[in-house]
C-alpha cells in the first residue's frame, strides 16, 4: 500500500484520529494503540481546560502516545481568532501542522469557506502546514489550493452526525478534478464501511473522532476503522472492476465439453 504523503512528509497510516470525548484517558490510549493513526488531532482549548483528562495530564498523555500531533482551531468563527489560535497552538505543541477549522454556521458547523481561504493564506505565509476543514465545493477547494494549501479535508457530512457521505456526486467530482491533491475525508463518517467506501473512491485518508469516541466500544471501533481504511485503499490501488448493467459469466464457455442449446 502506497504511503500517505502530506507536505512532503510520509505517514505510515491512512487514518487520523481525534482525541475528544472518550470515556476515560485509558480508553483513549487504548483506542490510539488499536488504530495506529498517522496523526492525532487535539484542540488547544481542550488541552488547556480543566478536568481529569485535560490540562497538563492530558498533554502528558498525548506526548506519551508518541504519535504526531495535529492541533486544530475548533470553535473559531473569525479569521483573527483562527490565526491567533493556530499561533498559540504552535507554541504549545511545538509543531507547524494545523488543522484549520473556521465555522460559519452554529447548527451545521459548516466551514466558512470565504474566511477559510483568507486565514489559510495568512498561516501558509507564516510557515504553517495547513490542513483546512472544508466542504466538497470544487471552486472553494481550488481557492484554498491557490492560497497555498497542499492538502484538503472535505467533509462527508456535518461534524458528529455519522451520516456518511451526503453528497456523493460532489465528492467524487472533487476527487476526479483534483487528482494530485491529497484529500482527507473529515467529519460525518459513522461506521467503518463508509470509510472503506471513500477510500475505494481514491481519497487518501479519513479523519474520525465521534464515530470512535462515542461508540459502545471505542477500542474495537478504532481498530475496525483502521482496517476499513486500509482495505479501502488496497481495493482502490487494485483497480476494481467497473459496474455494468448486463450480466457477464465469470467462467468462459469456449472449450466446454458440452453445450446445451436453447433450441430443442
- What is the C-alpha separation between 69 and 38, in angstroms, rounded? 9
Closest CA to 144 of 118, 181, 117, 184: 117
Residues 123/100, Cβ–Cβ less than 8 Å: yes
Closest CA to 205 of 181, 234, 233, 164: 233
Is 209 marked as binding a ligand?
Answer: yes
What are the residues whose beta carbons fall under 8 Å from the beta carbon of 198, sequence distance 6 or more? 156, 165, 171, 185, 189, 206, 232
- What is the C-alpha separation between 232 and 205, in angstroms, rounded? 10
Is 188 marked as binding a ligand?
Answer: yes
- The verdict on whether 129 is a catalytic residue reads no
In the Cβ-directed half-sphere of 257, how many Cα atoms lie within 13 Å? Answer: 0
- Which entry of 14, 99, 129, 175 is annotated as an active-site residue? 99
Is 48 marked as binding a ligand?
Answer: no
Work out whether the CA dihedral 187, 13, 197, 146 comes out positive or negative: positive
Residues with a catalytic annotation lie at 99
Binding residues for 1-deoxy-D-xylulose 5-phosphate: 160, 187-188, 209-210
Binding site: residue ranges? 160, 187-188, 209-210
Amino acid at each position: 500500500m502506497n504511503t500517505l504523503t502530506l507536505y512532503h512528509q510520509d505517514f505510515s497510516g491512512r487514518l487520523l484520529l481525534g482525541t475528544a470525548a472518550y470515556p476515560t484517558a485509558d480508553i483513549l490510549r487504548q483506542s490510539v494503540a488499536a488504530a495506529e493513526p498517522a496523526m492525532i488531532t487535539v484542540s488547544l482549548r481542550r488541552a488547556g481546560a480543566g478536568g481529569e483528562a485535560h490540562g497538563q495530564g492530558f498533554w502528558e498523555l498525548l506526548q506519551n502516545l508518541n504519535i504526531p500531533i495535529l492541533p486544530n482551531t475548533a470553535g473559531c468563527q473569525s479569521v483573527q481568532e483562527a490565526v491567533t489560535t493556530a499561533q498559540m497552538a504552535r507554541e504549545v505543541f511545538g509543531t507547524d501542522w494545523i488543522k484549520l477549522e473556521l465555522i460559519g454556521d452554529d447548527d451545521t458547523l459548516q466551514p466558512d469557506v470565504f474566511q477559510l481561504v483568507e486565514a489559510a493564506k495568512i498561516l501558509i505565509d507564516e510557515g504553517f502546514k495547513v490542513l483546512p476543514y472544508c466542504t466538497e465545493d470544487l471552486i472553494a477547494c481550488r481557492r484554498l489550493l491557490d492560497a497555498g494549501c497542499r492538502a484538503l479535508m472535505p467533509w462527508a457530512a456535518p461534524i458528529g452526525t455519522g451520516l456518511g457521505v451526503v453528497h456523493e456526486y460532489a465528492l467524487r467530482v472533487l476527487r476526479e478534478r483534483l487528482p494530485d491533491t491529497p484529500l482527507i475525508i473529515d467529519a460525518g463518517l459513522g461506521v467503518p464501511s463508509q470509510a472503506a467506501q471513500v477510500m475505494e473512491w481514491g481519497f487518501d485518508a479519513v479523519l474520525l473522532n465521534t464515530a470512535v469516541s462515542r461508540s459502545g466500544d471505542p477500542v474495537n471501533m478504532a481498530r475496525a476503522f483502521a482496517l476499513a481504511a486500509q482495505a479501502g485503499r488496497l481495493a482502490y490501488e487494485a483497480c476494481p472492476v467497473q459496474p455494468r448493467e448486463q450480466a457477464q459469466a465469470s467462467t468462459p464457455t469456449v472449450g466446454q465439453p458440452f453445450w446445451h442449446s436453447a433450441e430443442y
